[in-house]
Structure 1
């Protein structure tokens, strides 16, 4: 008779289900069999990816649209190193991700015995790109480590966590069933009363206040809209914060701090409230914003208060709760916003008028996308010139609707992240914006998309037959272009081989029709748009 005693792997899967995990991304291997023993009957859906990097990117996309941690099951050694790029991307962009991997038997760790998939120190490989990386040395360690991971996700800056579980721990019987022991999960709280009082005084006396919000403020949209209105403050967002204000809000300056008109406007602020944003150079495309006024920073991470942008007032706490606390203390009568509204309108005009020839082509494509994109859709974008323009020129109607690998800048992100987002929000149509170079990094994940998805995912492949940005950078620096004009495959034939519906529009009108039809079609549609067709 089969024993009913749970193994460490089985109990761990049950524990994850009790924490609300409904989907895991991964590829089963000889070192993760005990995790897979636990999946049947757990209520957790397993999504088979075609590469561990794809599993990590899918978990990232899942987390960005759902707000829940994305979870991966990864094998020892090569599985971990394959996933490391995706873990690094999630770390750079503060995305909650739980990576559960196996590791060799406890007795062999660090001894160089030549075991299958052996590394000298697996934990050390992911330590620099995680909130913490740890090895579970017994089954009793597992509930404590999972609780610690969720404490990071819920109360700290939400970065990836990697837990390595030795093979003998995965297969060992648990001494007691701890799989239902979900601990109380901490919150983030509000800043001190003193800090709030100082911030309110600065904002109330400001002549030209402005707001910058980022991915840490995605749950604060309502409060931020009221704060912008009450202060008559132009509202900027980072790329991660796109959609926090309605597109037509007259104070919405969008994600334009990466172009000259945005830099000019923010330089006029006498007080800037930065909330839930790292204020990194990857957000602004320049080393330093021209801030001449006082800076008030709201962040859960105290290390941000005295980094590249030291602040006048540091407000450590949750973005939504802090914004609401500020609103309670500020004068309730909104200021006259006429001057601020005029400045934002002038900014929008300047951004549109400032497009170069290439950006004008991108804008024409993005306009057709906007015309057909369903209201509840999301866009997952890769590191491609079309997306770089979209970062500031495309208007998102809601948070968690524009997924972009901002901080780490990883090629190959767009497709698997878009697939993962479909599992995080199955009811939302998805669009992937990807260039020909980045597409070939993770094109194999089309197999996962076709196999698993039964609702619309449209992949818009922008094919300029080049590593366009690097080619242009070389030319601008008077460097002879080398390695930037690859010979591409027949993308249409490749996509059909995976089972996608494929179109190749010859002009923008055909593109718009293909987009419309793609969003009506359940399944995966690849639209290959060549640069020559829209020039």
Structure 2
């Protein structure tokens, strides 16, 4: 070959130009040319043990940093393996860039039984991506990457898939330069719509604010608007931490709780920012929501503004810019005098209706708070997570997220926690997992050891798929397929090079968490629900 860079060598340099510092991926014969250029960059490579794990790690990294998580996969099974993780990221609006190989140009669509061949892997990825594109010529790569990073910068963030034929990866890139394209800024709101919203809010007697994951970068200005107007604030799961713990306007965490549903019905104006009002926010629902008054809705996605509820004022804009504009127009407004009182009443009412089964999990999270202040908590679909969604308030945004929202996949918690630890190595990271779900991705403990990502794994063991078992019993269905062979998790953890312990009480848990914080390897702490988790 000539001295010109190949496409595979150019690609890592382009990624670095866009600020990428980490890639999660597994090399294979079809994508190995993507790895030729990595050593010439400062990009860190983390190797999972399965492409689904790569996607979940990229998801956790993206949620902590706000930057897109980037993955390299091979043709065929590599791409199909990562589709579930892309589905979770798509559902929760997480930026992710998946770059896969695909068969040679001359072999695409021929059905000749080539290695890893699919009729159209691009079409498969398109269902869980903002867009999916095949790079047919080296000249197309810079523009395709610019499209992806423009979407991450300025639109509703979702996965993007780029596939490159194996022969195109190895081609010379000619005189293409490893330079990022200038990207657009975040969309600003229409001033007329902002003024209309301000008029409604100035005249409101019982206003209310709902913050969703789309407001995650707008915490300070959202709080400023709430304080200016005396707005009680309901956080959705992906917005936890936007309102500081203990703030007098914090109203609650779970919109399925009747006190919060009643408040939404009674409010004369609801200001909703970056939320779908999705059914996964309504555990143990779904229960129908009613908004009794005028709805002001702020969102980056124009289609979201006209879904489920008719907004009196839909505002298409970045949450931070829209709220900043609203704050400027409302300057001098008189706040509702009873906002803090209404919020306190809602907090108390929600706390009183928490079911008894959440009590052990409240004690568990209190132990995490005490032993690991400022921790990032990453959850799977498991009982401690369902409980924590209802009551737990982290200290800051981007510090609590899980797979029970949106797509609701199992196996997410451990690899996503590893991605979070890679993103924030100086903060403690806790994975809340169940014995059923963790077996989907338990092998990623090896990746955590290798990546020097000492996460703490809190494993709630109820002998199988406990939530589904209870669901079947409640509906008069004989439980089938839910009582599983449960391995010795502590021994398995040690076999992967981790530390492992069994925990029988909250006091034990606090001690073990504190000791885990000082280790250089992951620690798995198993809590056996069947043996009774002491509350002392």
Shorter-chain TM-score range: over 0.9
- Residue aligning to 2:220: 222
Please tell me whether the aligned partners of residues 209 and 269 of structure 1 are also in contact (alpha carbons under 8 angstroms).
Answer: yes
Please tell me whether the aligned partners of residues 254 and 395 of structure 1 are also in contact (alpha carbons under 8 angstroms).
Answer: no
- Residue aligning to 2:483: 485
- Residue aligning to 2:295: 295
SS at match of 2:145: helix
- Residue aligning to 2:519: 521
Please tell me whether the aligned partners of residues 231 and 336 of structure 2 are also in contact (alpha carbons under 8 angstroms).
Answer: no
Q: C-alpha separation between the residues in 1 aligned to 2:242 and 2:259?
A: 20
- Residue aligning to 1:89: 88
Please tell me whether the aligned partners of residues 31 and 100 of structure 2 are also in contact (alpha carbons under 8 angstroms).
Answer: yes
Q: C-alpha separation between the residues in 1 aligned to 2:163 and 2:450?
A: 29
Superposed displacement of residue 515, structure 1: 1.1
1:11-30 aligned at under 5 Å gives the runs 11-30=10-29
- Residue aligning to 2:389: 391
Runs of 4+ more than 3 Å apart: none
1:60-459 aligned at under 5 Å gives the runs 60-180=59-179, 182-285=180-283, 286-337=286-337, 339-375=338-374, 377-405=375-403, 406-453=405-452, 456-459=454-457
Structure 1, unmatched stretches of 5+, are none
Please tell me whether the aligned partners of residues 415 and 459 of structure 1 are also in contact (alpha carbons under 8 angstroms).
Answer: yes
- Residue aligning to 1:40: 39
SS at match of 1:196: helix
* Alignment partner of 1:10 is 2:9: yes
Superposed displacement of residue 333, structure 1: 4.8
Q: C-alpha separation between the residues in 1 aligned to 2:95 and 2:220?
A: 23
Q: C-alpha separation between the residues in 2 aligned to 1:514 and 1:501?
A: 11
Q: C-alpha separation between the residues in 2 aligned to 1:435 and 1:245?
A: 29
Cα distance per residue 1:324-369 (max 9 Å; x no partner): 11011114255243x3322222222222222323111221222222
Please tell me whether the aligned partners of residues 102 and 165 of structure 1 are also in contact (alpha carbons under 8 angstroms).
Answer: yes
Worse-superposed segment, 460-469 or 96-105: 460-469
Q: C-alpha separation between the residues in 2 aligned to 1:402 and 1:153?
A: 21
SS at match of 2:439: helix
Select the residue among 439, 461, 464 that pairs with 1:463: 461
| TM-score where L is the length of structure 1 | 0.97
Q: C-alpha separation between the residues in 2 aligned to 1:433 and 1:368?
A: 13
Cα distance per residue 1:432-489 (max 9 Å; x no partner): 10000111000000000011125x4211001111211111111111111111110101
Q: C-alpha separation between the residues in 2 aligned to 1:262 and 1:517?
A: 39
Q: C-alpha separation between the residues in 2 aligned to 1:361 and 1:11?
A: 53
Please tell me whether the aligned partners of residues 204 and 331 of structure 1 are also in contact (alpha carbons under 8 angstroms).
Answer: no
SS at match of 2:373: coil
Please tell me whether the aligned partners of residues 212 and 273 of structure 1 are also in contact (alpha carbons under 8 angstroms).
Answer: yes
Worse-superposed segment, 498-507 or 413-422: 498-507
Cα distance per residue 1:149-183 (max 9 Å; x no partner): 01110111000000000011100111213222x11
- Residue aligning to 2:507: 509
Structure 2, unmatched stretches of 5+, are none
SS at match of 2:458: strand
Please tell me whether the aligned partners of residues 240 and 400 of structure 2 are also in contact (alpha carbons under 8 angstroms).
Answer: yes
Please tell me whether the aligned partners of residues 73 and 101 of structure 1 are also in contact (alpha carbons under 8 angstroms).
Answer: yes
Superposed displacement of residue 392, structure 1: 2.0
Please tell me whether the aligned partners of residues 374 and 519 of structure 1 are also in contact (alpha carbons under 8 angstroms).
Answer: no
SS at match of 1:212: strand
Superposed displacement of residue 184, structure 1: 0.8
Please tell me whether the aligned partners of residues 242 and 254 of structure 1 are also in contact (alpha carbons under 8 angstroms).
Answer: no
Please tell me whether the aligned partners of residues 101 and 163 of structure 1 are also in contact (alpha carbons under 8 angstroms).
Answer: yes
Q: C-alpha separation between the residues in 2 aligned to 1:74 and 1:257?
A: 38
Please tell me whether the aligned partners of residues 275 and 319 of structure 1 are also in contact (alpha carbons under 8 angstroms).
Answer: yes
Please tell me whether the aligned partners of residues 500 and 524 of structure 2 are also in contact (alpha carbons under 8 angstroms).
Answer: yes
Aligned residue pairs total 530
Q: C-alpha separation between the residues in 2 aligned to 1:367 and 1:47?
A: 32
Q: CA RMSD in A?
A: 1.3
Cα distance per residue 1:388-410 (max 9 Å; x no partner): 11012111111000021210001
Q: C-alpha separation between the residues in 1 aligned to 2:382 and 2:334?
A: 41
Worse-superposed segment, 417-426 or 58-67: 417-426
| TM-score where L is the length of structure 2 | 0.97
Superposed displacement of residue 287, structure 1: 4.5
Q: C-alpha separation between the residues in 2 aligned to 1:523 and 1:262?
A: 42
- Residue aligning to 1:475: 473
Q: C-alpha separation between the residues in 1 aligned to 2:135 and 2:213?
A: 31
Q: C-alpha separation between the residues in 2 aligned to 1:528 and 1:146?
A: 43
Please tell me whether the aligned partners of residues 9 and 170 of structure 1 are also in contact (alpha carbons under 8 angstroms).
Answer: yes
